[in-house]
Amino acid sequence: MEGGAQPRVIVVVDDDDDVRESIRAALEDHGYAVVCAVNGRDALAAIASREPPYAIVHDLWMPVMDGWQLQQQLQLDPRMAAVPILVVTAAVVDAASVGAAAVLRKPVRLEALLDALAKLDR
Mean pLDDT of 47-70: 94
* Domain boundaries along the sequence of the chain: 2-119
Eight-class DSSP state of 73: H
The residue type at 62: M
Q: Distance from CA of residue 20 to its chain's centroid? A: 10
Q: How far apart are CA 122 and CA 118, in angstroms?
A: 7
Q: How far apart are CA 56 and CA 99, in angstroms?
A: 12
What's the fold here for domain 2-119? Rossmann fold (3.40.50)
pLDDT, tens digit, for every residue of 73-102? 999 999 999 999 999 999 888 888 888 999
Q: 92 vs 120, which has greater pLDDT?
A: 120
